[in-house]
Amino acid sequence: MNFLKKNFGWIIVAILASLPLLVIFKMINVDFSNGLSVSFAENAVGNGKTTVEMLYHVSGEFAIRWMTAVLTCTPVFIIFGINNLFVRQAMGIATAIWSLIHFAIFTAAEGFLETFSQVNYVLGFIAILILIPLLFTSNRKSMKRLKKNWKKLQSFAYVAVLLSLIHVAILDKTWMIYAVIVGLGFIIRIPVVKNKFVIFRKNKKIANS
């Protein structure tokens, strides 16, 4: 019970991050008859999209959603006074994994060299390169080893999200939703705005006591 209580947030994030994989698996054929062979299922989806296009959409959409969720954690703490660093780490891991899945699908369908054929692809690739070290240091051991440098390293997530938003903006106008959410989050982080929320919470706590 103590394990579940301590890691409840991690478990919830892991379940939510894993569920879309069920959709991915339906669109991929894995054959072990002659070694390992992976191919895209034909006519696996409707909506006028090919299987590959749908795989791009699902994997990329969840990567940017988790990235937005991670950056929303601090504003939520500022507004409500709720903080769970390790749940935020779990969200960061989900972001990196979905980004890697998105990149793996792209390279499997188009080839690695295609990554450098367009500016938006290059920006997405750089974002993934940034996320890889963040993925491997999103744990308690790395926090203890890196100490103050851990926060400096994790701050590169802001660069990754900026590159990802530009990457999505070039491909699809739905990026505006995520840009607005992230933008509001940064506004709440501004010291003057942040202090107003902190004072409001303190006054509310005093009034309720």
Task: Note down pLDDT in tens along the chain; length 209 residues.
Answer: 666 666 777 788 888 888 888 888 887 777 777 766 667 776 656 566 677 878 888 888 899 889 888 888 888 888 887 766 668 888 888 999 999 999 998 898 888 999 999 998 999 999 999 999 988 888 778 888 888 888 888 888 889 988 988 888 887 766 778 888 888 888 988 889 888 888 888 888 777 76
How much is the pTM? 0.82
Residue 209 covered by a domain = no
DSSP codes joined into one string, 182-199: HHHHHHHHSHHHHHHHHH
Residue 170 covered by a domain = yes
pLDDT at residue 41 in the model? 72
pLDDT at residue 11 in the model? 82
pLDDT digits (tens, 9 = 90+) for 176-203: 788 888 888 889 888 898 888 888 888 8
pLDDT digits (tens, 9 = 90+) for 62-74: 998 898 888 888 8
Residue 42 covered by a domain = yes
DSSP codes joined into one string, the chain: -HHHHHTHHHHHHHHHHHTTHHHHHHTEEEE-TTS-EEEEPTT---TT--HHHHHHHHHHHHHHHHHHHHHHHHHHHHHH----HHHHHHHHHHHHHHHHHHHHHHHHHH-GGGGGSSHHHHHHHHHHHHHHHHHHT-SHHHHHHHTHHHHHHHTTHHHHHHHHHHHHHHH-TTHHHHHHHHHHHHHHHSHHHHHHHHHHHHHHHHHH-
Our count of domains for the chain comes to 1
pLDDT at residue 129 in the model? 94
Residue 206 covered by a domain = no
pLDDT at residue 13 in the model? 85
Q: How far is CA 76 from CA 6, 82, 94, 189, in A?
A: 20, 7, 19, 10
Which range of residues forms the domain containing residue 84?
A: 2-199
Residue 105 covered by a domain = yes
Residue 174 covered by a domain = yes
CA 66, 47, 26 angle in degrees (round to 5)?
A: 60
Residue 208 covered by a domain = no
Identity at 193, one-letter amino acid code: V
